[in-house]
Amino acid sequence: MAETPVTNRTTTIRPGRPPVVDWDSWQATRDEFLALEKAHTRAGDALAAARRRLPMVEIDATLQVTGTDGPVPLLDLFQGRDELVVYQHMWHDGEPFERQCPGCTINTWHIQQAAPYLAARGVSFAMLTEGPWDEVAPYLEFMGYTEPWYSVRGLAAPVGVDMGHIVCFLRDDDRVFLTYRTTGRGNEPASGIFGLLDMTPYGRGEAWEDMPAGWPEGRDSCWYWATDADGNATWGSTRRATPQWTRPGATPVPPRGGGEHRH
């Protein structure tokens, strides 16, 4: 069957674009840039080596966190393995699903399938949240999450506070030690979207980025983390975290104060 021709094709020419060159010129420039990328990779290797040399601090392994099966000690999250990585998810009490933290939603959406791969390397994975379990449980069902989640409501630092962090622990028999934690842009390895956007001509489209002269003006940081039902980026009253729109039954969000919020 002949391919159906594309009609009414539209293009959007942005105010700035990379220069057009021949193939040999492009390849030569790409090879030159590759040296910068390799240096960046080696710098990351050096940073990881320094991270492995950080000291650690002991944490009470008997601290009780609450999950599907009720309260369990922190030690159980290791599932018999020696290492544990957790993401600490923010929670806004009493708010509907679409009002929960977009940044945490994006991070956890990206890493929801990480557990089997980490387990194969001897590392367990769990999600911790400050939210009360009776609110968190239906949210997990809506999002379709299957990895272990636990509420740390009422616990002190470093387990029960400072949400929006990635934290690493090491186990020695029945003792638990905190080895590393990070937040902010330190969380970016959890979300592949950032690295992919950085590879594109226009990057993340954020105002802080160093752009060539004439490039489109950047927007506020994280502007694409939340959208309305039509996919338009917004932090307005009809928003929900962008990954939530992929969930079955995710309906349009009425303006705040304009009726009940729907899941």
Residue 229 has pLDDT above 60, yes or no: yes
- Angle at 150 (CA atoms; ends 240, 114), nearest 5 degrees: 70
- Non-local (6+) Cβ contacts of 116 within 8 A are none
Confidence of residue 245 (pLDDT cuts 50, 70, 90): very high
**Domains present along the chain, CATH in parentheses:** 55-187 (3.40.30.10)
Q: How far is Cα 88 from Cα 79, in angstroms, rounded to an integer?
A: 18
CA 207 vs. chain centroid, Å, equals: 20
State the average pLDDT for the chain.
Answer: 92
Residue 258 has pLDDT above 70, yes or no: no
Q: How far is Cα 201 from Cα 206, in angstroms, rounded to an integer?
A: 13
Sign of CA dihedral 67, 70, 75, 76: negative
> Who has greater pLDDT, 8 or 47?
47
Q: Which of 207-216, 235-244, 247-256 has the lowest mean pLDDT?
A: 247-256
Q: How far is Cα 260 from Cα 253, in angstroms, rounded to an integer?
A: 9
| CA 47 vs CA 17, 50, 172, 186: distances in Å | 34, 5, 25, 12
Which pLDDT value is given to residue 11? 60
Percent of the chain with pLDDT over 70: 92
Average pLDDT on 103-111 reads: 95
Which pLDDT value is given to residue 1? 37
Q: Phi then psi for 103, rounded to 5 degrees?
A: -65, -45
Percent of the chain with pLDDT over 90: 86
Q: Which of 39-53, 181-195, 212-226, 243-257 has the lowest mean pLDDT?
A: 243-257
Residue 129 has pLDDT above 70, yes or no: yes
Tally the C-alpha atoms within 13 A of residue 239's C-alpha that lie toward its C-beta: 17
Confidence of residue 10 (pLDDT cuts 50, 70, 90): low
Q: Which of 2-6, 53-57, 197-201 has the lowest mean pLDDT?
A: 2-6
